[in-house]
């Protein structure tokens, strides 16, 4: 909270300076208010000639501010007003400003002596040299330091505490107002987001329903018009869209993903006529193991779009999969298309060093997603020779559960 709201955010400095000045003159106590870092808020009021003189030098002011800061920390440590000696041996008082348990600053005063013997202990010559002040003025100012009773210090503490509590009360009101405004803004944003989500959910319900009905109507028309290939194409598209839109399972079986990929490949081969072919040879043994959703399809799409689409004479996409002797599953998506850009291959080879610089590329996202689920021993590996072949290997654990447990390995 002290980082969110500062004393300067609460106090109108000029107005508070005027109030502090008037109060100091009425009670005849010197007073200064500092923030949590020891910086004075406004000016110091009713200070003794000695303290005014010391603070008139840059070094003296620096040391006094540092001393005020340490006094504020002392008061915060004990969470109550304190009487202490300043860096030059004077008796001072400090009261912490605490609002909602947070230290926002302190109110200080005093600048007196309670024993005449302490006056002689103040080294005028050292002060003159260290602070660059005329020796005679320093001696005169030391002679003007008030000599008071212990009761005076206690009264000074009470006054400082009164001012500190006044500021703390203002602070708490300010914090409550800020929190209320923040919560109001957050609630408004949440309401807007909720309405947007409701609209999106409604659209997600309406649009697919309309789309599937329309596609089914077109398929029946194709049947009536004796166009079985068109009918088959539309039904495959319906099934593919239905799987992608309705499948909310994070880790479907490999079997379900392969069936979806078959429909995608069927549509693409019809689109490209006899230019592009496909083969799927996946060991039935691994079909009931689990795979993160939407891992295969981006790789197959990449083979078409970046590998075969621009190749004049077309080519073949091959998908294979098996269980390895070390009890892992490896699924390979291969094509004989254009191949990967050398820069992509270099970036992939240096993935651990360049991680995070290629988040816009689906291949890198898929690789990092798999490693995030299962550890660094899993993910993608690529071999590519331009215009000859490209192989993307997906390495997975043998997972039969619906949800994975993060599988750490020795390389993590």
Contact criterion met (CB below 8 Å) for 254 and 291: yes
Q: Strand, helix or coil at 237?
A: helix
Distance CA 235, CA 216 (A): 7
Distance CA 116, CA 152 (A): 15
Residue at token pair 């039904």: 235
* Residue ranges in 134-283 assigned as alpha helix (H): 135-143, 150-224, 228-246, 254-271
Q: What are φ and ψ of residue 288, in 5° steps? A: -95, 5
CA 53, 58, 62, 63 torsion-angle sign: negative
Percent of the chain with pLDDT over 70: 83
105's enclosing H/E stretch is strand 102-112
Q: Could you tell me which residues are beta bridge partners of residue 394?
A: 331, 380
Distance CA 247, CA 291 (A): 13
Distance CA 412, CA 325 (A): 23
Q: Could you tell me which residues are beta bridge partners of residue 99?
A: 102
pLDDT at position 195 is 67
Domains belonging to the chain, first-starting first, are 7-181 (3.30.450), 273-411 (3.30.565.10)
Which of 15-19, 62-66, 71-75, 264-268 bottoms out in mean pLDDT, i.e. has the lowest? Answer: 15-19
R_g of the chain computed on alpha carbons: 39
Higher pLDDT, 214 or 323: 323
Contact criterion met (CB below 8 Å) for 378 and 396: yes
Is pLDDT above 50 for 405? no
Looking at residues 58-71, what average pLDDT do you find?
92
Q: What are φ and ψ of residue 45, in 5° steps? A: -115, 135
β 328-335/315-323 pair status: antiparallel
Distance CA 173, CA 306 (A): 62
Each residue's pLDDT tens digit, 230-248: 877 777 777 777 777 665 5
Q: Shortest CA distance to 141 belongs to which of 64, 88, 65, 93?
A: 88
Q: What is the token pair recorded at 225? A: 């018009």
DSSP 8-state code for residue 384: E
DSSP 8-state code for residue 106: E
Each residue's pLDDT tens digit, 155-189: 888 888 888 888 888 777 777 777 777 777 877 77
DSSP 8-state code for residue 146: -
Contact criterion met (CB below 8 Å) for 38 and 72: yes
Q: How many CA atoms lie within 13 A of 271 on its CB side?
A: 14
The full length of the chain comes to: 412
Q: What are φ and ψ of residue 319, in 5° steps? A: -120, 125
Is pLDDT above 80 for 87? yes
Is pLDDT above 70 for 109? yes
Distance CA 255, CA 262 (A): 11
Distance CA 10, CA 296 (A): 57
Each residue's pLDDT tens digit, 338-378: 888 787 788 777 766 655 444 445 678 888 889 888 888 89
pLDDT at position 4 is 53
Distance CA 389, CA 333 (A): 11
Which of 131-140, 272-281, 385-394 bottoms out in mean pLDDT, i.e. has the lowest? Answer: 272-281
Distance CA 209, CA 256 (A): 22
Q: How many CA atoms lie within 13 A of 73 on its CB side?
A: 9
Q: What are φ and ψ of residue 185, in 5° steps? A: -65, -45
Q: Strand, helix or coil at 47?
A: coil
Stated pTM of the model: 0.46
Q: Shortest CA distance to 104 belongs to which of 18, 42, 38?
A: 38
Is pLDDT above 70 for 30? yes
Is pLDDT above 80 for 57? yes
pLDDT at position 356 is 47
β 82-85/91-99 pair status: antiparallel
* Residue ranges in 312-361 assigned as alpha helix (H): 342-349, 351-354
Which of 86-90, 208-212, 320-324 bottoms out in mean pLDDT, i.e. has the lowest? Answer: 208-212
pLDDT at position 51 is 92
């Amino acid at each position: 909270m002290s980082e969110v709201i500062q004393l300067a955010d609460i106090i109108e400095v000029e107005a508070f300076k005027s109030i502090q000045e008037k109060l100091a003159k009425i009670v005849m106590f010197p007073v200064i208010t500092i923030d949590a870092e020891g910086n004075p808020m406004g000016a110091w009021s009713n200070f003794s000639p000695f303290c005014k003189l010391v603070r008139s030098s840059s070094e003296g002011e620096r040391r006094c501010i540092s001393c005020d800061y340490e006094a504020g920390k002392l008061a915060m440590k004990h969470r109550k007003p304190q009487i202490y000696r300043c860096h030059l041996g004077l008796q001072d008082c400090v009261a912490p400003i605490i609002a909602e348990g947070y230290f926002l600053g302190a109110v200080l005063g005093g600048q007196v002596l309670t024993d005449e013997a302490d006056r002689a202990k103040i080294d005028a010559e050292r002060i003159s040299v260290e602070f660059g002040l005329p020796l005679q003025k320093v001696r005169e100012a030391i002679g003007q330091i008030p000599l008071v009773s212990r009761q005076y210090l206690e009264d000074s503490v009470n006054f400082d505490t009164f001012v500190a509590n006044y500021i703390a009360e203002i602070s708490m009101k300010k914090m409550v107002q800020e929190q209320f405004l923040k919560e109001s803004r957050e609630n408004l944003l949440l309401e807007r987001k909720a309405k947007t989500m409701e609209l999106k959910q409604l659209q997600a319900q309406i649009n697919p329903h309309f789309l599937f009905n329309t596609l089914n109507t077109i398929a029946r028309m194709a049947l009536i018009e004796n166009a079985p290939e068109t009918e088959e194409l539309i039904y495959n598209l319906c099934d593919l869209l239905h799987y992608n839109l309705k499948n909310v399972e994070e880790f479907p079986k490999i079997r379900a993903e392969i069936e979806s990929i078959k429909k995608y490949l069927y549509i693409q081969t019809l689109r490209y006529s006899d230019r592009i072919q496909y083969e799927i040879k996946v060991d039935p043994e691994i079909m009931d193991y689990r795979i993160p959703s939407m891992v295969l399809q981006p790789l197959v799409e990449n083979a078409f779009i970046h590998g075969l689409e621009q190749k004049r004479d077309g080519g073949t996409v091959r998908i294979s999969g098996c269980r390895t002797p070390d009890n892992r599953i490896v699924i390979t998506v291969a094509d004989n298309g254009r191949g990967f850009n050398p820069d992509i291959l270099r970036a992939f080879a240096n993935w651990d060093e360049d991680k995070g610089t290629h988040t816009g590329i689906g291949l890198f996202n898929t690789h990092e997603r798999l490693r995030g689920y299962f550890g660094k021993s899993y993910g993608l590996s690529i071999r590519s020779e331009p215009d000859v072949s490209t192989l993307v290997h997906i390495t997975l654990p043998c997972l039969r559960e619906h949800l994975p447990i993060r599988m750490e390995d020795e390389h993590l």
